[in-house]
Structure 1
Amino acid sequence: MAGQISQRFIDDLLARTDIAELVAERVTLKKAGRNLSGLCPFHDEKSPSFTVSREKQFYHCFGCGAHGNALRFLMEYDRLRFPEAVEQLAARLGVEVEREDDQLSPHQREQAQVRERKREEGANLLELASDWFRHRLGAPEAEHARRYLDGRGLDASIIDAFAIGFAPESWDALKHHLAEHGVSEAVQAEYGLLVQHEKTGRTYDRFRDRVIFPIRDWKGRTLGFGGRVLGDAKPKYLNSPETPVFHKGRELYGLFEARRGGARLERLVVVEGYMDVVALAQHGISNAVATLGTAVTEGHLKRLYRLVDEVVFCFDGDDAGRRAARRALEVALPVMIDGRQARFLFLPEREDPDSLVRSEGREAFEARIECASPLSEFLFDQAREGLDLKRVEGRERFVSRVLERLRLLPEGLLRSLLMRELANRSGVEMEQLERFAAPAAKRADPAMTQFEPAGQAGDEAQWERAPVSSARATAAGRRGSVPLSLRALHLLLHAPTLVGMLPEGEGWCPDDEHGVLLQEVARLLRAGGYRSSQVILAHFYGSERGRQLEALMRREPMIPAQAREAELKALVELFERRRERLSPEEEYRELLARSQRGETLAVEEKKRLWELIGVLNAGPG
């Protein structure tokens, strides 16, 4: 439900959680005096430097500096956003999350409650259907389904872990079962369990004579189903349609099972089908997920990269697999900020992960994953397909193809290194390549392109037109102005550890809406000692400010991570210079506005306000 999570509820949740028990579910801990210690899950080490204190309900690593409470641990270990971490901790204790709806109008609150009831209705119905499918797998009529699963090498533990079931050949067995539990045909159809005949209007079960694979969200709640046919019916694989809770372009089969595995996820492998995921898990490779009958989407990748820094795309080695890989590359490039990796694995022709892992075993398949082509190699390989690079025309087409892809990449170290590699491979000078790539800047989103590093900033007009960190690139074609306070807020959200370099107190940045929000975010980061902006998003969750902050978080700054501190410092210096140039009337209006908003002015600021009143009342001369 929309609305900010109650702070009182968060405090109570932490008070009821034993951080030692929570951490011990994921990390091996040993008694060390009054505390517990183990190998840090956040960096590689051979000697334990990770400590958990039951007394203080706190963890700290003396090696990498990671520290925090139970919620922080869940956010960093499981790669959860703050609301998700709260929900997971609450579910662990068997309590419902309390939210404050004070910021919602009665109409908005009613709409939110309707949506929440709809989600609950769907979750309960789909769970009921999932339980029924699982039960039917043990029935005499499912003998051929059990033979099929056994023939694929799946044992009972894997079948149970993935909640695999069976839909009988009957046209209405599930419909009657759900009706006995009070679920109407209309609701069953709404959640994709029934199909309505176009001519007669009669409804019948969507899934018939199929092995059923429940599709679950990160909490394990059933969202929909995939069915693999056992007879000759078409299609071979059938998914639930789009419903109020199921969206193919966002969900991934196997993600819940991968996340609940014992080991910390380092990478995820994207395959094409349910059986690929399940077969790999049967052989001990539990970090595979599958799209649901769609190509990889940006929504898929955002979800994956929230959890891991490395994604391996696994494709068949035929022409169709190569085409799918090229589409995945185009989708991946815009989200490849520094620190993320994408690799491409092509299997032998007429093989898929299911058949290959069964024939060659776990170690051989994992070796293939380790040898998967990095994004850079695949990008250059597919760009030179069909070209003769010994000819000038071939090299020209090669450079054009690569530049077309590189324009999709965010600014950063990866893009710079790929440009340099292109220069080495093509013989074209870097300056020329940068000039040829420049039109991409004109096509970029004008709302955020201001965050790109700019040329030397001399006067204030130039500061308005270009980003402020100066002295690096000479990006051409400066666009329209973005408020400087918005730039600073954007940088701080993506680099919250830089809050320490911002001035304390009030009034150090512009008094516009972005400046007010910037100061509030800085205050919250300082107050909690937070390293993650997810806590800030949770604080404003469900409000208009929250939606603004989420939009900024979805946009990676164009400035490379290593240059953001200098950029933020330059912005603060500009704010200070601007304040020094305020006229007495402007300074008076700014101080008065802050006072009228209920802010407490410092003693020196109050004295200055009285001085300004005197100056302005005295008039000219």
Structure 2
Amino acid sequence: MAGRIPQNFIDDLLARVNIVDIIDGRVKLKKTGKNYSGLCPFHQEKSPSFSVSPDKQFYYCFGCGAGGNAIGFLMEYERLEFPQAVEEVAKLVGVDVPRDEAQEQRHSEHKAQYHILDETTSFYQNQLRSHPTKHIAVDYLKSRGLSGQIAQTFGIGFAPVGWDNLLKALGTSEERKDLLERSGMLIRHEEKDSLYDRFRERIMFPIRDMRGRTIAFGGRVLGDEKPKYLNSPETDTFQKGRELYGLYEARKLTPKLERILIVEGYMDVISLAQYGITYAVATLGTATSAQHLERLFKSVPEIIFCFDGDAAGRKAAERALETTLPIIKDGQEARFLFLPEGEDPDTLVRKTSKEAFEEHLSEALELSEFFFRYYSENHDLSSIGGRANFSTQALPNIQRMQTSLRQQMMLDRICELTGLTLEQINTTINLTQSSQINEETEKAEPHRPTFRQSRPTPATIIKHTTTLCSHLVSLLLHHPELAQKAPSSIDLAELSDPQADLLCKLLTHLQHRPNQSIGTLIIDWNDDPELRTHLLQLSEISRLDPVLNGDANQLFDEAWQRLTQRLQESQLSRLQKKPLSALTNDEKKLLSELLIRK
């Protein structure tokens, strides 16, 4: 089962749909031999590196490594969750998605929550138009310079004073009251065992998901009460660490979304949009998370963080830098903008203009520039001690980055500033802090690669990555049926090959699923937290060893023979190092067999 949808249904669905039909309506494709090619929709490029194979029903970008089947493409391109992507493909094929009883129940509950939240949005909007005290909210919005049109675009509403306005209007049955409570709109008074409205006497901002459905609300007080902003609690349909206010509107209002501006509050997003800067979003009472950034970088190649110029803004920028470093890849950019003291995006755009504000954006510091300014500002780089202290602080943070040209260039910059080679720095400075950070990063993000202490070039990266095991993995990705040629169980742990574990897992998976396609493999592994780590390895191997010339069976047999020889040599070396008296009976038997073969 993948996502609780029967696997045989997913296999049948992928067999019936033509991936070219799915992608061609969204990406301009051109026939190139057996395949189709075009400009990749997931990163900026000038020459086509995006390929679609109708034979394998699979897409792959040789530029950024994106790849998958029809379901995976819709998940990435349309920002859909797995069940919704399956639904979309099923609609095209003309079949219904089967659900078990528990899943059908959850689907029904979520649908009811979306519906009641849409009703709540309409209720608050009606209060802004017709409530006897609407002038309080209208006057406030006018004082902030908002037009009626922009208020309508963002669905702004009004929660009037009172404890049960929403409860009375929409909670007309116990079932609906329960829905409102589970959606975060009502609060239960435990002692009185009664319900009351969560939002009272506030301007209401509906928070929408990528499909435009209301999933939560933010409310701003009209006076000086605390808290100034109040968000809905997390629910089954709303997780604040993933959602961004204004992202739906940014995609809707911006014809070609090329960058995203991250600001602090709802009013900043709305005011900027009113002045034509329609690509701003805001986090929901939390710092920008890795999930936020990964989601945004799938939509745009550039993110600009906008901060106040005070100490708090500086602190927020430091946190954003730390969050961005492990996420960013080549082809992506993060910039850091500090506004004049006492200004925020809302006030600044009103005092100046769209053009003047965007001029500020053009002055935003690129990630590496901010990085070196931040880490060098408290150190005297003209002194030996200052350069040493700077290196011990900066290097561990560069270590957290993904292997990339950007990382290499930042390492080169440290060498320029210190006058040392990276080898000298690593051998003379105690990088205990680096090791600790790396261990923590691997626990939290096990898929993040670490950089070697030697300075890798693209050539050495390929040399280290395209190993015998990775070559076999690449063969299996292109020809899954070859897995049946390998033994049903083999332990490659003794091989000093970084892809040995991946090869074992892939062989086991394909031997149990002989008709597995590369597309359904990615769906299966993405649904398994333990196997998800290997997806990036698969992507990297496909990128570095994408073209296989010659007979696949012969290539596999030759590679497997070399692998077996290496394994036997490794086993023999290990056993011969032990005293004969220390060997078990099984080890003695294996040693005898290996010596005979040799």
Q: What is the match of residue 532 of structure 2?
A: 550
**Contact 1:314 / 1:347 at 8 angstroms: preserved in 2?**
yes
Instruction: Tell me if structure 1 keeps the 8 A contact 2:475–2:556.
Output: no
Q: 1:341 to 1:392 in 2, by over 3 A?
A: same
Q: Out of 477, 500, 506, which is 1:518 matched to?
A: 506
Q: Relative to 1, partners in 2 of residues 1:407 and 1:170: Cα closer, same or farther, differing over 3 Å?
A: same
- The answer as to 2:562 corresponding to 1:577 is yes
CA separation of 1:285 and 1:455: change in aligned 2, threshold 3 A: closer
1:507 corresponds to which letter in structure 2? Answer: K
Deviation at 1:560, TM superposition (A): 10
SS in 1 for 2:325: helix
Q: Which residue of 2 aligns with 1:612?
A: none
CA contact (8 A) 1:270 1:288 kept: yes
Q: 2-side partners of 1:21 and 1:561: how far apart?
A: 23
Specify which of 531, 537, 547 is matched with residue 522 of structure 2.
537
> Would the aligned equivalents of 1:454 and 1:472 in 2 still touch at CA under 8 Å?
no
Displacement after TM superposition at 1:242 (Å): 2.3
Of residues 170, 181, 185, the one that matches 1:178 is: 170
State which of 423, 426, 431 in structure 1 corresponds to 2:423. 431
Which residue of structure 1 aligns with residue 5 of structure 2?
Answer: 3
**Secondary structure of 2:298 counterpart:** helix
Q: Pairwise mapping of residues 17-28 of structure 1 onto structure 2 (< 5 A)? A: 22-23=25-26
Measure the CA separation in 2 of the matches of 1:95 and 1:221.
25
* Cα distance in 2 for residues equivalent to 1:232 and 1:191: 27
Q: Is the 8 A contact 1:338 1:412 kept in 2?
A: yes
Deviation at 1:41, TM superposition (A): 6.4
- Judging changes above 3 Å, is the alpha-carbon distance between structure 1 residues 373 and 237 closer, same or farther for their aligned structure 2 residues? same
Distance 1:408 1:13 in 2: 43
SS at match of 1:326: helix
User: Alpha carbons of 1:497 and 1:175: their partners in 2 closer, same or farther (altered >3 Å)?
Assistant: farther
Q: Give the C-alpha shift of residue 343 in structure 1.
A: 1.3
Q: Retained in 2: the 8 A contact 1:9–1:98?
A: no
How far did residue 430 of structure 1 move?
1.8
**C-alpha distance 205-471 of structure 1, shift in aligned 2 (>3 A):** closer
- Aligned ranges for residues 382-531 of structure 1 at < 5 Å? 382-435=374-427, 436=429, 440=434, 443-444=438-439, 445=442, 488=470, 499-500=477-478, 506-507=484-485, 511=489, 515=503, 518=506
- Deviation of 1:264 after TM superposition, in Å, equals 3.8
What count of residue pairs does the alignment treat as equivalent? Answer: 529
Query: Equivalent residue for 1:253?
Result: 245
Q: CA 1:449–1:73 in 2, change beyond 3 Å: closer, same or farther? A: closer
For 1:366, the equivalent position in structure 2 comes to 358
1:456-486 deviation digits (Å, cap 9, x = unpaired) = 9xxxxxxxxxxxx9966999xxxxxxxx99x
Helix, strand or coil at the partner of 2:335: strand
Structure 2 Cα separation of the partners of residues 578 and 274 of structure 1: 58
Quick one: structure 1 residues 59 and 113, their matched pair in 2 at CA, closer, same or farther if it must change by over 3 Å?
A: closer
What is the rounded CA distance, in whole Å, between the counterparts of 2:125 and 2:322 in structure 1?
Answer: 39
1:135 aligns with 2:114: no
TM-fit CA distance, 1:215: 1.2
Mapped to 2, the partners of 1:401 and 1:453 lie a distance apart of 16
For 2:117, the equivalent position in structure 1 comes to 126
Q: Deviations over 1:131-177 (max 9, x none)?
A: 21122221143222223333433334432332221111121110111
Conserved? CA contact 2:480–2:517, under 8 Å: no
In the aligned structure 2, how far is the partner of 1:162 from the partner of 1:497? 51
Corresponding residue for residue 497 of structure 2: none
1:570-609 to structure 2, matched below 5 A, reads: 575-579=560-564
TM-score, reference length from structure 1 = 0.68
Q: Which amino acid in structure 1 is aligned with residue 337 of structure 2?
A: L
**Aligned AA for 2:534?**
L
Tell me the distance in 2 between the aligned counterparts of 1:364 and 1:139: 38
Please report the TM-score for the alignment, with normalisation by the length of structure 2.
0.71
Would the aligned equivalents of 1:280 and 1:357 in 2 still touch at CA under 8 Å? yes
Unaligned runs of 5+ in 1: 30-37, 102-108, 457-468, 476-483, 584-615
Q: Which residue of 2 aligns with 1:462?
A: none
1:194 equivalent among 170, 178, 186: 186
Cα pair 1:272 1:290 within 8 Å, conserved? yes
SS at match of 1:343: strand
Give secondary structure in 1 for the equivalent of 2:408: helix
Contact 1:410 1:558 in 2 (8 A): no
Aligned twin of 2:305: 313
Corresponding residue SS for 1:260:
helix
Change over 3 Å in CA distance of 1:200–1:78 after alignment to 2? closer
Structure 2 residue corresponding to 1:164, chosen from 156, 163, 167: 156
1:423 CA drift (Å): 1.0
For 1:177, the aligned partner's letter is A
Cα 1:9/1:149, change in 2 over 3 Å: farther
Letter in 2 for 1:366: E
Deviation at 1:295, TM superposition (A): 1.1
Offset of residue 207 of structure 1: 0.7
Displacement of 1:202: 4.1
The verdict on how the C-alpha distance between 1:182 and 1:340 changes in structure 2, with shifts beyond 3 A counting, is same
Equivalent residue in structure 2 for 1:147, among 139, 151, 157:
139
In structure 1, C-alpha distance between the alignment counterparts of 2:375 and 2:242, rounded to whole Å: 29
The answer as to 2:315 corresponding to 1:337 is: no
1:209 paired residue among 193, 201, 208:
201
In structure 2, relative to structure 1, the CA distance for the partners of 1:9 and 1:558 (3 Å cut) is: closer
How far has the Cα of 1:11 moved from its partner?
A: 6.4
CA distance in 2, matches of 1:408, 1:292: 26
8 A Cα contact 2:220 2:230, kept in partner: yes
Alpha-carbon offset, residue 307 of structure 1: 2.5
**Alpha-carbon distance, 1:360 to partner:** 1.9
Equivalents in 1 of 2:236, 2:327: separation in Å? 27
Measured in 2, the distance between the counterparts of 1:448 and 1:60 equals 24
CA contact (8 A) 2:488 2:508 kept: no
Check conservation: 1:19, 1:58, Cα contact below 8 A.
Answer: no
Partner Cα distance (1:43, 1:361) in 2: 30
- Structure 1: how far apart are the matches of 2:228 and 2:487? 61
Are 1:98 and 2:93 an aligned pair? no
Give secondary structure in 2 for the equivalent of 1:270: strand
How much identity, in percent, do the aligned residues show?
Answer: 38
Comparing 155-164 with 311-320, which one deviates more in the overlay?
Answer: 155-164
Q: Is the 8 A contact 2:128 2:157 kept in 1?
A: yes
Residue 278 of structure 1 is matched in structure 2 by: 270
Report deviation, 1:380. 0.9
C-alpha separation in 2, matches of 1:184 and 1:421: 61
Report the Cα offset of residue 420 of structure 1. Answer: 0.8
Asked whether the 8 Å contact 1:39–1:49 carries over to 2, the reply is: yes
> In structure 1, what residue type is equivalent to 2:141?
L
Distance 1:529 1:116 in 2: 28
Cα contact 1:268–1:310 (8 A) shared by 2: yes
Q: Which runs of 5+ in 2 are unaligned?
A: 30-37, 491-500, 569-592
**Amino acid in the other structure paired with 1:221:** R
1:379 matched to which residue of 2?
Answer: 371
Which of 243, 262, 268 is the matching residue for 2:235? 243
Matches within 5 A, 1:605-616: none
Decide whether aligned partners of structure 1 residues 193 and 571 sit closer, same or farther in structure 2, where only a CA change above 3 A counts: farther
